Amino acid sequence: MEAILLFGLLILFMSLGIPIGVTIGLVTAICLGLTTNIPMVLIAQKSVTGLDSFPLLAIPFFILAGALMLQGGISKRLVNLAESLVGFITGGLAMVTVLACMFFAAISGSGPATVSAIGSFMIPAMKEKGYDAGFATAISAAAGTIGVIIPPSIPFVIYGVAAQVSIGDMFIAGAIPGLILGLSLMGVCFIESRRRGYNRSTSSFSFGAVCKALKEAAWALVIPIVVLGGIYGGIFTPTEAAVVAVVYSLFVGKFVYRELNAKKIYECLLDSSLVNGATQFMIGLSIAFATYLAMAQIPATVAAWLSAISEKPAVTLIVINMFLLIVGCFVDNIASVIILTPILLPVVTRLGIDPVHFGLFMTVNLAVGFVTPPYGINLFVASAISGEPIESISKNLLYILLAMTGCVLLFTYVPWVSMGLVNLLHK
């Protein structure tokens, strides 16, 4: 009964357009009041104490680092490097977009931020070279999803806290899947560009141009080496790595590329504060929500439902994947991770799935929702940049979504893809 009430209220409030953070708080309060005798003060207590977490400090710092990288000229130099590497191939500009997003993903941790940073350069460039505006916008939105898979990743930080697993292991697990997803999207770019007759962005490969672009982008490329190398080398924690990324981005943007001034720094601080405020509000209430789930034994109820469908792990995983893909269409990635982790993690661990492996394919599943209406936050960011309506963009998503779904199935049923590097580094 509690599970039906909870999910019914969630669907009702979200369909009414109530913000997800407010929805989570309301559902928790209503269910707590109707099904238990526990005082409502529990919500405030769990929301505040749940945010008193050192690992969660990584989120505001990674958000700020991404903003500083965008305003400090780092994204522009990454685009130039990507163009020198793949611009000579058919559909080169579209491939440049994907490759540049892969570079930026390694220093930002956010899907929408990656779309904004790279799409603002590449969407106008593709349109100028004759690319269909809908396709240019669609591939930019899809490539932005790599921002939450290639480490560092904000959803990985949140999952690590929610599931009590190593955030460093989550980062390691995302490296190979992020590369595979990027290469899959580049394959779609090549096939679609050849079918539509899109030209190369540069006439031929030039080793000199690559060296020049690499030299200009060298300071930007050092960031993932410092951040990830420091984490895996045991020099600092993911939270400390986020602080290092902020200091380094500020230094490079201000003193090396000289594109950061006082006004831009203030704008970065303001934008990051607003995004972080909304995120922390949602996380705090979600922790109270997770507490109610545990008290009402809803994860056990859901596990029983899923077990009743089939005793075969492969079938159960398909059902979970389909569920996550549907949820991703309507709910933000971060909110979904917080809400669903305590519900689904007991189910998959019972099937023998490693929690790190589950966190990886759950995040990729939900990342597909970045480019699927009606939520599709990456679609809205890309649409705002290009001026293309969502309907026009959606028409160009078929093969992109097929490639992304294929990657989801690969990551789900071939654990080595995500866990191979983790296991190797722990030997």
Domain boundaries along the sequence of the chain = 2-425
Rounded average pLDDT over 286-307 = 75
Task: Give pLDDT, residue 42.
Answer: 83
Whether the per-residue pLDDT at 180 is higher than 90: the answer is yes
Q: Residue 87 gets which letter from DSSP?
A: T
Task: Give pLDDT, residue 200.
Answer: 64
Task: Give pLDDT, residue 203.
Answer: 63
Whether the per-residue pLDDT at 60 is higher than 90: the answer is no
Whether the per-residue pLDDT at 417 is higher than 80: the answer is yes
Task: Give pLDDT, residue 37.
Answer: 81
Distance CA 400, CA 406 (A): 10
Task: Give pLDDT, residue 410.
Answer: 95
Rounded average pLDDT over 270-297 = 79
* Token reading at 324: 């996550």
State the Cα angle at 411 between 336 and 329, rounded to 5°. 30
**Helical H runs in 164-312?**
167-196, 207-232, 238-251, 262-296, 298-309
- Is residue 394 very low, low, confident or very high in pLDDT (cuts 50, 70, 90)? confident
Give the number of residues written for the chain. Answer: 427
Distance CA 108, CA 123 (A): 20
| Nearest of 160, 175, 174, 146 to residue 57 by alpha carbon | 160
Distance CA 62, CA 140 (A): 21
Rounded average pLDDT over 276-305 = 76
* Token reading at 50: 């749940």
Percent of the chain with pLDDT over 70: 97
| Nearest of 193, 182, 188, 195 to residue 148 by alpha carbon | 182
- Tell me if 256 sits within 8 A of 75, measured CB to CB: no
Highest mean pLDDT range out of 15-19, 30-34, 229-233?
Answer: 30-34
Distance of CA 230 to the CA centre of its chain: 22
Rounded average pLDDT over 302-328 = 81
- Is residue 161 very low, low, confident or very high in pLDDT (cuts 50, 70, 90)? confident
Of the CA atoms within 13 Å of residue 237, those in its CB half-sphere come to: 13
| Nearest of 357, 322, 371, 398 to residue 176 by alpha carbon | 357
Task: Give pLDDT, residue 201.
Answer: 63
- Is residue 375 very low, low, confident or very high in pLDDT (cuts 50, 70, 90)? low
Task: Give pLDDT, residue 266.
Answer: 93
Residue 232: count other Cβ atoms within 10 Å of its Cβ: 15
Distance CA 388, CA 370 (A): 17
| Nearest of 418, 400, 427 to residue 165 by alpha carbon | 418
Task: Give pLDDT, residue 100.
Answer: 86
Mind listing the pLDDT tens digit for each residue in 91-150?
788 888 898 888 888 777 777 778 877 887 788 888 887 888 899 999 999 998 998 898
Containing H/E element for 47? helix 41-51
Q: Compute the Cα dihedral for 336, 337, 339, 341 and give only its sign.
A: positive
pTM over 0.85: no
Task: Give pLDDT, residue 193.
Answer: 87
* Token reading at 161: 């806290």
Whether the per-residue pLDDT at 3 is higher than 80: the answer is no
Cis omega (within 30 of 0) on the bond before 152? yes
- Tell me if 358 sits within 8 A of 324, measured CB to CB: no
Mapped onto helix, strand or coil, the DSSP state of residue 278 is helix
Residue 54: count other Cβ atoms within 10 Å of its Cβ: 11
- Tell me if 169 sits within 8 A of 157, measured CB to CB: no
Rounded average pLDDT over 13-17 = 77
User: What mean pLDDT is reported for the chain?
Assistant: 84
Mind listing the pLDDT tens digit for each residue in 243-281?
888 898 899 888 988 889 999 999 989 988 887 787 778
Of residues 344 and 38, more confidently modeled = 344
Mind listing the pLDDT tens digit for each residue in 199-241?
666 667 778 888 888 888 888 888 778 877 887 777 888 788 8
Task: Give pLDDT, residue 427.
Answer: 66
Whether the per-residue pLDDT at 43 is higher than 70: the answer is yes
Distance CA 173, CA 167 (A): 10
Task: Give pLDDT, residue 104.
Answer: 81
Whether the per-residue pLDDT at 403 is higher than 90: the answer is yes
